Amino acid sequence: MGKFTTYNARIASNPYIVGSFACIGGGLCGLDISSMSGVLNVSLAPSSPKINLTKRQNPSYLSTFNFPNPSAQGGIIAAMPAGSLVGSLAVTQLADRLGRKRTVILAGMIWVIGSIIQCASVNRGMLVVGRIISGVSVGLSSAVVPIYQSETTAPSIRGRIVTLQQWSITWGMLIQYFVQFGCSYIHGVASFRIPWGLQMIPAIILSLGMTLFPESPRWLCDNGYEDEALEVLADLHGGGDTTNELVVLEYEEIKQQVYFERTEGAKSYMDLLKGGNPRRVMLGMSLRMWSQLCGMSVMMYYVVYVFESAGLTGIRTNLVADSIQYVLNVALTVPAIIYIDKWGRRPMLLFGTVFMGFWMFLVGGIQGRFGHWSAPDSTGKIVWIIDGNEAATKAVIVCSYLFVCSYAVTIGPVSWTYPAELYSLKVRGKAVSLSTASNWAFNTALAFAVPPGLNSIAWKTYFIFGTFNFAAFIHIFFMFPETVGRSLEEVEEIFQQGHTFTAWRISKDVGKKTLAEVVEKSKAISDLINFTHRARGRC
């Protein structure tokens, strides 16, 4: 069969370049998370008697969108994760039908459309539509980029490459935060239209640049382009040598998996319910769930509320404190990128959930011990706040920083890497998109649930998230097997061993095969398929 597509073999020969460029799609997610920060500095804490929303928010933004109240603003913010939920579910079809590469390109194109609509918005409805469209792009990219990265990298560096997805998200958040902050000094509608318009640049680079990179070799092999699949594997992992042992091993394993899955019939959603797939689908979805329920949404999205409730006052002081949190998120992801394939997935998840739970309980405990309900403001509303206790204020801020550091170096990166490793080729596109959809479903829910929680039960909210972290620890300890260092095909062997509730007992040697064993099994499966076809022909 002829070539599926052309690409620049010199660029594609470096798996780090291939994987890191694709994660620009993750940066789009980070850009959107911070895209409202310049105009909504403290809109998440409307009940504080010390806050003047009109002075602290961008007046041009307020007048353009008819002074949205907290409920209306919550709807504007939640439009993005709601669109992301739709986009991630769409990957169940697009990743298999269009291919991984084309879906990434499509995500970039959709982002440009959403950014244009947001930039040109003249009313709330137009802004919400633009954010929903941008959210669809984020959902597509956040689901398909880890699939693309995991399928184009060798097992020894797969975790490191997929972890770049989380790092790009943190960079997107940081860059957009400072762009918004800088543009806040501009008078008029340009103060928010310029940042929203500049968001198009990374997406244009992503869509155009991806035309130079190869399609996933596993998708190519699955769709009958076996010669190009071998060529891509050779360029990525063998310096262009198609006889390289690692290349041949991977190629034979992929063929073996594809041939075996073809004997089971056409792909369908029912495949997600066959064999051990339900367990794996639930592992992927639950990990993305825990990544939201751990409390990162509180410590990042509502950081202004957290710090002001702790007693931190002053616009500049808050801006500096907020920016430190964003910088820490970027910096502490670096150790995870470097060591994720050495530390392993399980230890990072287990240590991360324990430490995050500890910091959450400490924040809640300090707030509960030293805080109090404020006097009613002019509207009769009150807020929980720490007053006149500098030590307690600093303790809350430090614990918040340590929580973000714990997340950045553990569950943040692993929650993108692990789901992309769990599934067979036949269901990978659908299963990873479902796990990403779980992420955005809980993200959307928390966008509505956290502000009322902080306003009604205050410091007890942190205890809820701390409890979620300890529940996640128990779940991970018993049910999440280690996948580090194994090819995507070797991961299949792990789940054939059973150990549903004894994941810690799985040996590191499970799934490991020699080249001779892989070739022999691949030949046996091929002979079986040929025999089946001949038998059907005689009938």
Residue 406 pLDDT more than 50? yes
Amino acid 402: pLDDT: 96
Residue 532 pLDDT more than 60? no
More confident residue, 3 or 470: 470
Amino acid 258: pLDDT: 83
Residue 201 pLDDT more than 90? yes
Phi, psi for 373 (deg, rounded to 5): -75, 135
In total, the chain counts a number of residues equal to 539
**CA separation for the pair 3, 10 (Å, rounded):** 17
More confident residue, 537 or 394: 394
Instruction: Clarify whether residues 497 and 446 are in a common domain.
Output: yes
Amino acid 55: pLDDT: 40
Q: Residue with structure tokens 């539509």? A: 129
More confident residue, 175 or 40: 175
Amino acid 413: pLDDT: 92
User: What b/e string do you get for 448-475 counting C-beta neighbours within 10 Å, with b at 16 or more?
Assistant: eebbebbbeebbebbbbbbebbbebbeb
Residue 120 pLDDT more than 90? yes
- Residue 419 has which token pair? 């789901």
What number is the average pLDDT over the span 152-162?
A: 84
Residues 6+ apart with CB under 8 A from 477: 350, 503, 504
More confident residue, 532 or 73: 73
Domain that holds residue 528: 511-538
Phi, psi for 265 (deg, rounded to 5): 100, -175
Instruction: Clarify whether residues 145 and 69 are in a common domain.
Output: yes
**CA separation for the pair 44, 50 (Å, rounded):** 13
Domain count, the chain: 4
Instruction: Clarify whether residues 529 and 480 are in a common domain.
Output: no
What number is the average pLDDT over the span 210-220?
A: 91
Amino acid 265: pLDDT: 57
More confident residue, 229 or 316: 229
| Mean per-residue pLDDT of the chain | 83
247-294 pLDDT, tens digit each:
888 888 888 878 877 776 556 778 888 878 899 999 999 999 999 999
End-to-end CA distance of the chain: 29
Amino acid 210: pLDDT: 93
Amino acid 43: pLDDT: 38
Q: Tell me which amino acid residue 327 is.
A: V
CB neighbour class for 116 (10 Å; exposed up to 12, middle 13-18, buried from 19): middle
Amino acid 51: pLDDT: 37
Q: How confident is the model at residue 54 (pLDDT cuts 50, 70, 90)?
A: very low
Residue 32 pLDDT more than 90? no
What number is the average pLDDT over the span 155-171?
A: 87
H or E, element range at 523: helix 515-538
Q: Give which of 492, 486, 80 is closest to 256, Cα–Cα.
A: 492
Amino acid 512: pLDDT: 55
Instruction: Clarify whether residues 484 and 405 are in a common domain.
Output: yes
Q: How confident is the model at residue 100 (pLDDT cuts 50, 70, 90)?
A: very high
Percent helix / strand / coil, the chain, rounded to 5: 75, 0, 25
Amino acid 519: pLDDT: 55
Domain end call among 204, 236, 264: 264
Sign of the dihedral defined by the CA atoms of residues 407, 409, 411, 416, in that order: positive
**CA separation for the pair 424, 357 (Å, rounded):** 33
Q: How confident is the model at residue 494 (pLDDT cuts 50, 70, 90)?
A: confident
What number is the average pLDDT over the span 170-180?
A: 87
Amino acid 1: pLDDT: 46
Q: HEC profile for 469-511?
A: HHHHHHHHHHHCCCCCCCCCCCHHHHHCCCCCCCHHHCCCCCC
CB neighbour class for 505 (10 Å; exposed up to 12, middle 13-18, buried from 19): exposed
Where residue 431 sits, what CATH number does that domain have?
Answer: 1.20.1250.20
Q: Is residue 151 situated within a structural domain?
A: yes
CB neighbour class for 411 (10 Å; exposed up to 12, middle 13-18, buried from 19): buried
CA 387 to chain centre: 37
**CA separation for the pair 444, 62 (Å, rounded):** 23
**CA separation for the pair 188, 61 (Å, rounded):** 8
Q: Is residue 471 situated within a structural domain?
A: yes
Q: Is residue 270 situated within a structural domain?
A: no
**CA separation for the pair 511, 491 (Å, rounded):** 6
Q: Tell me which amino acid residue 129 is.
A: V
Instruction: Clarify whether residues 517 and 377 are in a common domain.
Output: no
Q: Residue with structure tokens 């095969």? A: 513
Q: HEC profile for 454-465?
A: HHHCCCHHHHHH
Amino acid 50: pLDDT: 38
Q: Is residue 456 situated within a structural domain?
A: yes
**CA separation for the pair 276, 204 (Å, rounded):** 40
**CA separation for the pair 218, 425 (Å, rounded):** 7
Candidate from 345-349, 385-389, 463-467 with smallest mean pLDDT: 385-389
Q: Is residue 269 situated within a structural domain?
A: no
What number is the average pLDDT over the span 210-218?
A: 91
Q: HEC profile for 199-224?
A: CHHHHHHHHHHHHHCCCCHHHHHHCC
Amino acid 364: pLDDT: 94
What number is the average pLDDT over the span 494-505?
A: 76
Structural contact between residues 13 and 235, judged by C-beta atoms closer than 8 angstroms? yes
Does residue 157 sit in helix, strand or coil?
Answer: coil
Instruction: Clarify whether residues 287 and 180 are in a common domain.
Output: no
What number is the average pLDDT over the span 38-55?
A: 42
Q: Give which of 19, 11, 47 is closest to 163, Cα–Cα.
A: 19
Q: Is residue 271 situated within a structural domain?
A: no
Percent of the chain with pLDDT over 90: 38
**CA separation for the pair 32, 193 (Å, rounded):** 14
Q: Give which of 257, 245, 228, 224 is closest to 12, Cα–Cα.
A: 228
333-373 pLDDT, tens digit each:
999 999 998 999 999 999 999 999 999 999 999 999 999 88
Structural contact between residues 237 and 246, judged by C-beta atoms closer than 8 angstroms? yes
Most confidently modeled range among 23-32, 210-219, 442-451, 527-536: 210-219
**CA separation for the pair 268, 266 (Å, rounded):** 6
Instruction: Clarify whether residues 229 and 368 are in a common domain.
Output: no
For 369-431, give the DSSP string: HHEEEPPP-TTS---EEE-S-HHHHHHHHHHHHHHHHHHHTTHHHHHHHHHHHSS-HHHHHHH
Amino acid 186: pLDDT: 83
More confident residue, 40 or 312: 312
Q: Residue with structure tokens 């790092």? A: 167
Q: How confident is the model at residue 49 (pLDDT cuts 50, 70, 90)?
A: very low
Instruction: Clarify whether residues 52 and 101 are in a common domain.
Output: yes
Amino acid 6: pLDDT: 58
Q: Give which of 454, 409, 438 is closest to 92, Cα–Cα.
A: 438
Instruction: Clarify whether residues 232 and 86 are in a common domain.
Output: no
Q: Is residue 179 situated within a structural domain?
A: yes
Instruction: Clarify whether residues 480 and 530 are in a common domain.
Output: no
Q: Give the angle subtended at the CA of 103 by the CAs of 16 and 194, to the nearest 5°.
A: 85
Amino acid 448: pLDDT: 75
Instruction: Clarify whether residues 354 and 444 are in a common domain.
Output: yes
Percent of the chain with pLDDT over 70: 84
Residue 329 pLDDT more than 60? yes
- Residue 61 has which token pair? 């933004």
Q: Is residue 251 situated within a structural domain?
A: yes
Instruction: Clarify whether residues 333 and 227 are in a common domain.
Output: no
**CA separation for the pair 13, 240 (Å, rounded):** 7
More confident residue, 447 or 23: 23
Residue 236 pLDDT more than 80? yes
- Residue 287 has which token pair? 């990990």
